[in-house]
Amino acid sequence: MAQTMVRCREISESDVDAVADLLTRGFGRSRAYWMQGLRRQALRGVPEGYPRFGYMLDHDGAPVGVLLLLYTARRDGGETAIQCNLSSWYVEPGFRNYATMLTRVAQRHKDVTYLNISPATRTWPIIETQGFQSYCRGLFFSFPLLSRAQTDVAIEIVPSEATRIEDVSVTEVELLTRHARYGCLSLVCRTPDGALPFILQPMRIRRGWIAPPVMQLIYCRDIADYVTCARAIGRVVLRHGKISVSVDSNGPIKGLAGVFTEARGRKYFKGPKPPRLADLTDTELVLYGP
């Protein structure tokens, strides 16, 4: 009998169609959903020396397991930190004995901060035994129209083709427009203290969990900025059919009307640079969608 050969290797662009088929079988999302995200991964910038898509278990040339990785270089002061969003880990039942090969290879860089931002509740204890720490315990569902109004706040919706925004850095302009192209709602709030950028995205409400129409806060410089501009942002999201904005949080947020829950939204990291709240840019939530 021929020996079964399984090896772990980097996903190449020629593997994308087969990987999409595998993910469709494994997660129950449409093939179009996976292909959209994989195409976005194919086009985005990736730090030099890191994989574009992630790793797969190869059995006679076909993927039987996959772990998608989204590497991003983040500037923090004068330093650049590498962050990796671990996403969409699936292995065919007959090959589960090889599953640890994926995680071992994917998490081998000691200077990289790894994120798991969508762990299933049942996996929390497993993730913690792998050395991950929680940096976000849950979600605060704010009702921004019920917040105290900040006077003199004007809002601009940022189009995907914008090349310059007054009082916003070139780096943030590129961030806002890139996410607008991904289908996010990119905004700039102008206050007496300056221009404040925001990125929001419609939030998927999982089956069996009742919640109002919600936008998720993907980016702001500081949650205090959202508190300042909440009522003005609330008027904009209402025009998009939403009444709530969810914010990654470790408890209720002073100055906002809403409800905090730990039932959803826990997020983990492992590595040298703890992530900050209110920055989910360039993660699976954006590239693959809610």
Render pLDDT for 230-254 as a digit per residue (tens, 0 to 9): 999 999 999 999 999 999 999 999 9
> Which residues on neighbouring strands pair with residue 197, listed in sequence order?
188
DSSP symbols for 233-288: HHHHHHHTT--EEEEEESS--TT--EEEESSS--EEEESSSPPPTTB-TTSHHHHT
Q: Which residues contact 71 (CB under 8 A, 6 or more apart)?
A: 46, 47, 50, 51, 82, 83, 84, 112
Helices (H), 130-240: 170-181, 223-239
Q: How many residues does the chain have?
A: 290
Q: Please report, in tens digits, the pLDDT of each residue of the chain (290 residues total).
A: 345 689 999 999 999 999 999 999 999 899 999 999 999 999 999 999 999 999 999 998 899 999 999 999 987 767 889 999 999 999 999 999 998 889 888 888 999 999 999 998 898 998 999 899 999 999 999 999 998 877 789 999 999 999 999 999 999 999 999 999 999 999 999 999 899 999 999 987 655 444 569 999 999 999 999 999 999 999 999 999 999 999 999 999 999 999 999 999 999 999 999 999 999 999 999 999 88
Q: Phi, psi at residue 182, to the nearest 5°?
A: -80, -5
In 3D space, the residue among 290, 281, 289 whose CA is nearest the CA of residue 39 turns out to be 289
CB atoms within 10 A of CB 89: 19
**Strand, coil or helix: 23:** helix
Helix or strand (DSSP H, E) at 72: strand 62-76
- Strand residue runs (E) in 5-53: 6-10
